[in-house]
Chain A
């Protein structure tokens, strides 16, 4: 079991205990809500785990590290930022993919850029965004976020490099 799992297990036990002591009914309601949310993401999640297991098997690490690794340079960022911007992958699903890419030799900078564009830039949803914000604001927001995503990717890579 990973240390992360231990964090979540202990935190959920402590919080449940406190919550239960304060209000039994509310706690059960919370459990119910949590279970519902978990159920909603479970199958999409299983599907993506299958995809990641296939990816780990079929895509050799040297291919990943060549195109998305520390020495991939501008190309790695470009691939990550563009794929992240045009695909519509629910955010929670991007984490196992990100972990798989890192395991296969992608750099933190590139993976962070990919995830950030995925979350903040939406080319596919742009028409919808325009309906709310108008063309000018929607396009400007996406461009600014695209630039921010690359900066975030670079900075996170640098900082994690310093720390470790």
Chain B
């Protein structure tokens, strides 16, 4: 059973697409209309995706080599006020992955002496201002939507940072490395 499980885990990404291709072929062979219509929808969204995603990742890859995260991390915890906020937001924008991937980074920032306010601002910015994500968002929902959403969200993240700092002050708050 473990072998079967391992097989599924390893190839789970391909199972759906394979099943879909087979079902679509069958739909066309037997003239099953819903299958054809779903395929039409799929083709449209596939074209939409493939016309911008590869280019987006070229941009993201170039960003990655030209703006090394380590350089920015050096500035964290130094600047105060708006400058400090700008650095954490910038650092957050260069990341990738799900929010729980940001928790270990929050611990590192904490160790480096970043304020609680900036750590929570980092989490906020991480959650919805990462550059690759903004790129995909623009591709699907348009520049206008992305700009409006980001400009509305940012002040709220900063507000949450201030609120969290105020709330946790004098409450013996600390961030741990997640090992216990």
B136 within 8 A of A: yes
| Residue in A53, A122, A148 whose CB lies within 8 Å of B38 | A53
Complex: chain A residue closest to B46, CB-CB: A49
Question: B residues within 8 A CB of A31?
Answer: 58, 61-62
Contact call B135/A141, Cβ cutoff below 8 A: no
Chain A nearest Cβ from B115, distance in angstroms: 14
Contact call A16/B58, Cβ cutoff below 8 A: yes
Task: Annotate A128-140 by CB proximity to B: 1 below 8 A, 0 otherwise.
Answer: 1101111011001
Instruction: Report the interface size for chain A: residues with CB under 8 A from the other chain.
Output: 74
Quick one: which of B67-122 are within 8 Å of A by CB?
96, 98-100, 103-104, 106-107, 120
B167 within 8 A of A: yes
| Residue in B38, B100, B120, B136 whose CB lies within 8 Å of A141 | B120
Question: B residues within 8 A CB of A92?
Answer: 132-133, 136
Question: B residues within 8 A CB of A21?
Answer: none
Question: B residues within 8 A CB of A49?
Answer: 42, 45-46, 49
Known: A53-B45, A54-B38, A137-B168. A102 touches B141 (CB 8 A): yes
Known: A44-B13, A91-B133, A132-B106. A156 touches B149 (CB 8 A): yes
